[in-house]
Amino acid sequence: MNNFIFQNDTKVYFGRGCVKEYLRCLVKPYTTVMVAYGRGSVKRNGVYEEVVGILWDAGKEIVEFSDIMPNPTYAKVQEGARLVRENNVEMILGIGGGSVMDCCKAVSLAARYEGDIWEDFWMHPGVIEVEPVPLGVIVTVAGTGSECNGGAVITHEEKKIKAGRDYPKLNPKFALMDPVYTYSVPVKQMVSGGFDILSHMMETYFSEPDEDNVSDDIMEALMKSVIRNLRAAIQNPEDYTARSNLLWDSTMGENRIIKLGKKGDFQCHNMEHQLGAYTDCNHGFGLAVLQPVYYRHIYKDGLSKFARFAENVWEIPRDGRSDEALALAGLDALEEFIREIGLPTTLRDLGIADKAMLKEIAGSCGISAGSYRRMTHEEIQEIFNECF
């Protein structure tokens, strides 16, 4: 194992009924709470009513921050920060999936920071010297794992940049995770989130070191869990075992544990982020299109790991195959799984019709230092063209 430092300050309350059991106690120190959510699904499925009812019964003053979009924008962050300052909000409570949680993290910093958080933190890694507004989250979608880290991905619409940073001070103080809250998520959104979970794990797995290490062993078990439970949840969206496993898979993918001692290759996320910045495409769908093609470009540079992926995750027997043949069989299995669960396989499936714009998008992509082979913007454009 390589050297590492581990820290995670988020306290998790997991399981059926955890919101009813713990929320009142968790908000006790605060008078004014800002309730943040997306575009209304939490009102339609009853989650909002339950949460707000608990807050009212606890005598809290409630400020609403609604309509957070799937790819939260810097303008939306600024709107939330103004609400916090104008209403003397003492705590932010985000209800939703990754987009809501990411937006709330950025708001918690922007409300307290007097400078330009985009330039000082999202564009240039800085040191957070101010204390963000305390944040708690109630998770309704399994996907990003944002509930147990300080990461937040924000889109600057004017600059056409989608960027993420992970600062430990932005970790939520607590995360309430009731798998039942994920039941009402549309199958399309559940599958998108499920693939995002798998993508996070693959991007950490396919990076150095490749010597025997605990992180890779954990990831193989987690990837098999995602595949198995996503299939089960598609068959029965109210399968509590499957939904609870996916919810915890999501957290394990991004609570920093599996990244310990690993370089991490986040090239596909960098590429998809810029696709999203230009086209506002669905994040999980974009990853499903890009990831298999990207891996066919680099598998020879990490051949033993890709062969191991085939054997240990997809359970493909070697049967005399070479490492290369086995690695390719694993990538075939990944592509078949993507088709099986109904994800798109081309950029045109995402509604991207202008092939000419791909050169500009490719040129705007960040280059991952952890990849088995360092990409160039020219090769990224090749990948986009192959995906078209």
pLDDT digits (tens, 9 = 90+) for 310-350: 999 999 999 999 999 999 999 999 999 999 999 999 999 99
Q: Where are the domains of the chain?
A: 11-182, 187-387
pLDDT of residue 319: 94
92 forms beta bridges with 34, 135
Dist CA 150 CA 239 (whole Å): 30
> What's the CATH superfamily of 187-387?
Dehydroquinate synthase-like - alpha domain (1.20.1090.10)
Residue 16, pLDDT > 90, answer yes
Q: Are 271 and 365 in contact (CB under 8 A)?
A: yes
Encode pLDDT of 128-160 as tens digits: 889 999 999 999 999 999 999 999 999 999 999
Where does 167-279 show beta strands of DSSP type E?
174-177
pLDDT of residue 7: 85
pLDDT of residue 106: 97
Work out the pLDDT band at 197, boundaries 50, 70, 90.
very high
Percent above pLDDT 70 for the chain: 100
Residue 269, pLDDT > 90, answer yes
pLDDT of residue 39: 87
Pairing of strands 32-36, 61-65: parallel
Give me the sign of the Cα torsion angle 350, 274, 279, 117: positive
Dist CA 68 CA 70 (whole Å): 7
pLDDT of residue 386: 97
Residue 59, pLDDT > 80, answer yes
Residue 50, pLDDT > 90, answer yes
Q: Are 196 and 338 in contact (CB under 8 A)?
A: no
Dist CA 72 CA 356 (whole Å): 26
Dist CA 198 CA 206 (whole Å): 12
Report the run of H or E that residue 36 belongs to, with start and end.
strand 32-36
Q: Are 253 and 145 in contact (CB under 8 A)?
A: yes
Residue 5, pLDDT > 90, answer no
Where do we find the tokens 């909000």?
A: 89
Dist CA 187 CA 27 (whole Å): 32
Residue 31, pLDDT > 80, answer yes
pLDDT of residue 375: 96
Read off the tokens for 278. Answer: 């230009």
Q: How much is the pTM?
A: 0.94
- Mean residue pLDDT of the chain comes to 95
pLDDT of residue 253: 96
Percent above pLDDT 90 for the chain: 92
Q: Are 189 and 140 in contact (CB under 8 A)?
A: no
User: Integer distance in angstroms from the first to the last C-alpha of the chain?
Assistant: 39
Q: Does the domain spanning 11-182 belong to CATH 3.40.50.1970?
A: yes
Work out the pLDDT band at 105, boundaries 50, 70, 90.
very high
Encode pLDDT of 60-90 as tens digits: 999 999 999 999 999 999 999 999 999 999 9
Contacts of 353 (CB under 8 A, 6+ apart): none
Mean pLDDT along residues 170-176: 98
Dist CA 57 CA 360 (whole Å): 53
Encode pLDDT of 204-248 as tens digits: 999 999 999 999 999 999 999 999 999 999 999 999 999 999 999
